[in-house]
Structure 1
Amino acid sequence: MLMLREFDDRRLSPYTGWTRDHWAALADHLLLSARRYASASHARISFPGPPGGYGADVDALEGFARTFLAAGFRVAGEHGRDPLGLMEWYAQGLATGTDPRSPERWVRLDEHGQAKVEAASLALVLHLTRPWLWDRLDPIVQEQIVDYLAPAVGGDYPPINWIWFQIVVEQFLASVGGPFERKDIEDGLAFTDGFARENGWYADGAERAYDHYAGWALQFYPVMWSEMAAGDPAADSRRPLYLDRLERYLHDAVHLVGADGSPLVQGRSLTYRFAAATQFWTGARAGTATPAPGLLRRAASGIARHFTEHGAPDEDGVLTLGWHGAWRPIAQSYSGPGSPYWAAKGFFGLSLPADHPVWTAVEEPLPVESGDYHRVVRAPGWLVSGTRSDGVVRVINHGTDHSHPGTHLTDSPLYARLGYSTATSPVLAGEHAADPLDQSVVLLDEHGRPSHRTGFETLLLDRLPSGTMIGASRWQAHWVTPEGDDRGDHGYGRPGTVHLGPWMELISAVRGPWELRLIRVPATELERGPLRIGGWPLPAAEPVRTGTAAVSNGTMCSQVIGLDLGGVVSAGDSAPLGPWTLVPWRATTGPARPDTWYDVAVFLGAQEPGRPPVLSWDGPALARVTWPDGTADLLDPSAALRVP
């Protein structure tokens, strides 16, 4: 059992107690535990559990390459001091894994695409530890490594964050006299420029794909590449732009961490857990002017502490497939027993020496610990509400679905729900994962199946003078009979046979723990079913049976107020935060009336909801919302729904 409390320093770290010693002890624990699952040559690390979707050979390579990240960061930050013999241990694995004659050789980049991902980790660590590893390798082993990485040159990479894997590998090859194509690097850099969005954000490709990859990949690799290529005019000219984007992005990122250290439970690859800390260490290493070092460490350490205090790693020192403890349904098609070790990217802070300001500065509070806030994050289309009283960060989503406007896919619970938070998880398994219930606005067909919203149009994202946020979107309700099955997919919406329904319009007004939703179904000849609104999915130890759309788990409350009917669905083993997920809902008794504004109030908070926001109409055109704190806002629905 790993004991970290003995390192607590509440003077230096008044919020988490964590110091560099905690991070080092955690890294060492994971690395030494991993050795129990290594092959005799150390080339393969095969963690327990059934093989992933790509097979045992890929799993073993991931086990090596991803733990190698933690080892490299650990030694680089100590300027080569290596009492655990990490470099010698991994050098043996490198020699065997890249030996084409060895029965323990690694799957090559031209044999399986996943090797292209792992190759980037190998190249990155070889760069960071060059004086203590690469420079000491036998020339034959150096040649083997170059030959192993060489298929990256001219290789075919998916047009997402993977482009950076090719850039990083070829940059390393160039630095050691290996083969590379400058055109590959230049074309890749130009292509990734197309990922850039407002206020420093990146999308993961051409789609509205916003998730944790925005930080642990798309902010991380540009900064590291510009460091690897320092002195090259192309790198030196690009670095200020990358740093500016990173700094602007980090101001949003620190607002997306809960007071308990939980990141948003949103997007794919959640099993990488404290890899979400990578972005904050990247800011520290890059020397961004803001946020301050003490705030960056507070965010990063809070994330790591959150997971270590909730069962990750487990009692055997293993990072299992899961979020807190093991929960296999969180896996995607590419997830295997070695996959969770991309969490090692979260140890990037250890590449910074103990006297770096990020380690010596006193921790500063997270935004959610300093006060309530309402923040419009335009790139992903999120209205972000943080409340100091419970430390929860909520996101109301009018911009992310991992698709394009006008598509008709199923709703991915990881991307297309209307809300995500640091205290709840979307329903990810069972019938309500495929058929939207939590955080949804749907029409029900004649069989009771809910409609989907993927492909919606974002119409408005704004902040009123009072601080209240307002967002709007519209979509054509559609029902999809998916092609194939959904086992082990990538977490995106799925295509299939589509039945189109009427258009739907949604306006969200957000203040504190409350969201007021205004919903309208414009007049159409298409059949309209009943309207149903799903609220926040609350983790719980037991199911409930109640006729009201309100529920509490003893810590948090979730409620939906409005419409005619209501209840709570108890979904078992459907999310990683607890054995049950409780979802309150409200619905109309009959088909949604055309051109009628329906309103519901949706709540998530630690306190009992109390008085909800009240909606009244000033004539036919203006809606007045009076919030529990006495603030009154005037909304013009027609203006909110104008196409930008």
Structure 2
Amino acid sequence: MRPSPAHRATASGVSPVTGLTRTDWERTADRLLEAVRRHAGPGHSLINLPGPDSGSGRHSDGLEGYARTFLLAAYRSAHAGKKLAEDTLAPYAEGLAHGTDPSAPGRWPRPADLPQARVEAAAVAIGLHESRHWLWDRLPDPVRQRTVDWLGGISGTAVPPNNWVWFKAVVAAFLRSVGAPYDAGDIERAVAGTERWYAGDGWYTDGARGEGQYRNFDHYNGWAMHLFPLWYCRVSGEQADPALLPRYRDRLRAFLDDAVHLIGGDGAPLHQGRSLIYRFATAAPFFVGALFDATPLAPGLTRRAGSGILRHFLDRGALSADGTLSLGWHGRFEPLRQNYSGPASPYWASQAFTGLLLPPQHPVWTGTEERLPVERADFVRVIGPAGWVVSGTAADGVVRAVNHGTDHTPPDRPARDDPHYARLAYSTHTAPDLGPPLDLHDDPEAKPRDGDARADQGPDNRVALVGEDGALSHRSPLRPLRAAGRVGLSAHVPHWPVTGDTDRERWPAGPAVLTASVVNGPWEVRLIRVAENGRTVCVGGHALAGDRPLWSRAGDGHLMLIRPDGLTSGLFVLGPPRPAHVLRVRRAVGVNAFGAFSATPVYEAAGDLHAVAVFLGATAGTALPPRPEVQLARGDATVTWPDGTADTLGLPDDAHAGARP
């Protein structure tokens, strides 16, 4: 399976890979804005798109529709001609007048009253800054004063200790820039929190429950943790601490060197983390790097990354029939949304259009596209802060990340076993099977985001113990042990949360489990050691999904699932010795973002030592790829690959001790 030819069909000139130029980005922005305009209420202050309400309610969702598309309008107008800029921004100027008027029927919820409005206030502030000479400078004084009053309502409010602190800081920066009252403490707290959350090598944990708890790694690194500190500097200009801009630039440079390796050959970003309905917002950090002179990437590679991501989603049904972004990944897939997601939430994707702030003659728009790392050669890359070992294969464009450091689960709140964080592996071409959110309303320790935990999760990319009732144990919180070379290692105490029981020490728990991953090309060898014998272990491969049921092929010690395009998910039992085992296919319908029909190869066996190989990549017809071999002892293991190379690693006894973080 090679990268889809659909995205190369129109390739020419400076865009030989994606075929997209700046003009295509402008037309896409215009199309998105035109589609949402039809859903605006009186005065254009509230834009309510069709779909289920968020946990904040329909009024909040209407503000979100305005604020997030206002970002897009501001970026689009930056280098537009006078008439186009004025026409693009006119509805938003009207909406600003109505939304900030407490007596208007389309008035906005106030940041002082509604937490979600604090997020949208930051989007409004950035939009006002970027369209300052077209919109803010022309507003009547009463509207400007009401806008300042509305934005100022964010001061003194409480926000979660994560990327939200920057919403207050960016609003404070804008208020300061227009001579309005602002809270300097909002800025100081954002800067200080960001330092505590910096995990090194360009990566941030998005908040932490305790000092040094680096557990929350996802796309928020790119569309929040790097973006907002730099935008704070951009809005503040010379009023910002002069040490901040160089610091944030250096960190983004380091991050982008990793991030460009997390894009598949078909333009797909890694399917991992929350808020995935933002889709091509994953392109934002690449353009932001160019905008702030904070990128190690050549201009043509920057555009290849951004345009590839945009085209990936546009070619795969991200837009509904009416031209609006749906709640989902490719097409509509509402199980992907979180409690805080409303119909307009996907328009955080507007951040991808920060590239339009670059002038048309910028090398990002005029340089010839360059190939992504996965298009040039196979690679293995360690992302240390996140505990990921990433592998990419040029033959099929697939990027995989084995995860031995990220679970998004504070040790004191282990009810969550989020399938988008706690799985052992993720990829650009597969997604986890999802179950319904757990009902945690009886647990006073559970917060709204604990609802991201899922009941009846699939077995894909899990290493779990099988309970007496057949339920699979939870992995998180995990204990990272190693991510180096081609090897990742972690330990965890398997447990089965009991809904409504707040005494976590009483939850059923099993013996500690040590899991090692060794990667090479399309292969991941998983080595599992259980602290006591006799327990049944379940290991799932990648869940493969498509528009019709998957083919399966079973043989001696192996099971393969094959999609019509050749993408294959396989699971191979390694040895000797081979424990008595069961291989089966778990099939499901309507639970996977990549297609209606999904299937997962699953291994189950009792014992304290297990070795299986997980395969994800292209196969030619039904040809069986040559498998790796393992020599497994209690204290170490040697993996020999089809290419003749080998990896030896220890499986230490003391890794089980203190497996609970």
The TM-score, its normalising length taken from structure 2, stands at 0.89
SS at the partner of 2:172? Answer: helix
| Residues 342-381 of structure 1 mapped to structure 2, 5 A cutoff | 342-381=348-387
Give aligned-pair identity as a percent: 43
Q: Partner residue of 1:610? A: 625
Whole-angstrom distance in 2 between the partners of 1:438 and 1:200? 30
Against the structure 1 CA distance between its residues 544 and 345, is the aligned structure 2 distance closer, same or farther, given a 3 Å change threshold? closer
186-195 or 209-218, which moves further after superposition?
186-195
Q: Aligned-pair distance for 1:233? A: 5.3
Whole-angstrom distance in 1 between the partners of 2:292 and 2:354? 12
Q: Partner residue of 1:314? A: 320
Q: Cα deviations across residues 162-194 of structure 1 (Å, max 9, x unaligned)?
A: 000000001100111111122221122112211
| Residues 97-246 of structure 1 mapped to structure 2, 5 A cutoff | 97-206=99-208, 208-232=215-239, 234=241, 236-246=242-252
Q: Partner residue of 1:634? A: 648
Q: Cα deviations across residues 456-476 of structure 1 (Å, max 9, x unaligned)?
A: 11111110xxxxx10111111
| Residues 249-288 of structure 1 mapped to structure 2, 5 A cutoff | 249-288=255-294
Whole-angstrom distance in 2 between the partners of 1:231 and 1:44? 35
Unaligned runs of 5+ residues in structure 2 are 1-5, 438-453, 574-578
Against the structure 1 CA distance between its residues 230 and 438, is the aligned structure 2 distance closer, same or farther, given a 3 Å change threshold? same
Pairing partner for 2:510 from 494, 501, 505: 501
Q: Aligned-pair distance for 1:282? A: 0.6
Question: Is the contact made by 1:254 and 1:366 (CA closer than 8 Å) also made in structure 2?
Answer: yes
Q: Partner residue of 2:584? A: 567
Does 1:450 find its partner at 2:472? yes
Whole-angstrom distance in 2 between the partners of 1:321 and 1:223? 28
Pairing partner for 2:638 from 624, 637, 640: 624
Whole-angstrom distance in 1 between the partners of 2:22 and 2:83? 15
Question: Is the contact made by 1:7 and 1:18 (CA closer than 8 Å) also made in structure 2?
Answer: no
SS at the partner of 1:160? Answer: coil
Q: Cα deviations across residues 564-584 of structure 1 (Å, max 9, x unaligned)?
A: 110111111011110111100
Does 1:462 find its partner at 2:484? yes
Whole-angstrom distance in 2 between the partners of 1:7 and 1:59? 38
**CA RMSD in angstroms, aligned pairs only:** 2.4
Q: Aligned-pair distance for 1:7? A: 12
415-424 or 83-92, which moves further after superposition?
83-92
Against the structure 1 CA distance between its residues 512 and 378, is the aligned structure 2 distance closer, same or farther, given a 3 Å change threshold? same
Q: Partner residue of 1:475? A: 492
Whole-angstrom distance in 1 between the partners of 2:68 and 2:203? 25
SS at the partner of 1:479? Answer: coil
Whole-angstrom distance in 2 between the partners of 1:616 and 1:342? 49
Task: Name the aligned partner's letter for residue 517 of structure 1.
Answer: R
Q: Cα deviations across residues 543-596 of structure 1 (Å, max 9, x unaligned)?
A: 4586843211122111111151101111110111101111001111xxx33xx4
Q: Aligned-pair distance for 1:23? A: 0.6
Task: Name the aligned partner's letter for residue 554 of structure 1.
Answer: P
Whole-angstrom distance in 1 between the partners of 2:185 and 2:497? 42
Task: Name the aligned partner's letter for residue 639 of structure 2.
Answer: V
Counting matched residue pairs gives 617
Task: Name the aligned partner's letter for residue 214 of structure 1.
Answer: N
Unaligned runs of 5+ residues in structure 1 are 464-468, 485-493
Question: Is the contact made by 2:460 and 2:542 (CA closer than 8 Å) also made in structure 1?
Answer: yes
Whole-angstrom distance in 1 between the partners of 2:264 and 2:295? 23
Q: Aligned-pair distance for 1:633? A: 2.1
Pairing partner for 1:580 from 582, 593, 597: 597
SS at the partner of 2:402? Answer: strand
Whole-angstrom distance in 1 between the partners of 2:553 and 2:262? 34
Against the structure 1 CA distance between its residues 541 and 313, is the aligned structure 2 distance closer, same or farther, given a 3 Å change threshold? closer
Whole-angstrom distance in 2 between the partners of 1:477 and 1:265? 25
Whole-angstrom distance in 2 between the partners of 1:604 and 1:99? 55
243-252 or 429-438, which moves further after superposition?
429-438
Q: Partner residue of 2:79? A: 77
Against the structure 1 CA distance between its residues 200 and 5, is the aligned structure 2 distance closer, same or farther, given a 3 Å change threshold? closer
Question: Is the contact made by 1:8 and 1:19 (CA closer than 8 Å) also made in structure 2?
Answer: no
Pairing partner for 2:68 from 66, 69, 80: 66
Pairing partner for 1:437 from 440, 459, 463: 459
Pairing partner for 2:520 from 508, 511, 521: 511
Q: Aligned-pair distance for 1:84? A: 6.4
| Residues 327-342 of structure 1 mapped to structure 2, 5 A cutoff | 327-342=333-348
Whole-angstrom distance in 2 between the partners of 1:642 and 1:504? 7
Whole-angstrom distance in 2 between the partners of 1:32 and 1:495? 51
Q: Aligned-pair distance for 1:114? A: 0.3
Q: Aligned-pair distance for 1:33? A: 1.2
SS at the partner of 1:551? Answer: strand
Against the structure 1 CA distance between its residues 341 and 497, is the aligned structure 2 distance closer, same or farther, given a 3 Å change threshold? farther
Whole-angstrom distance in 2 between the partners of 1:498 and 1:507? 26
Pairing partner for 2:563 from 536, 548, 553: 553
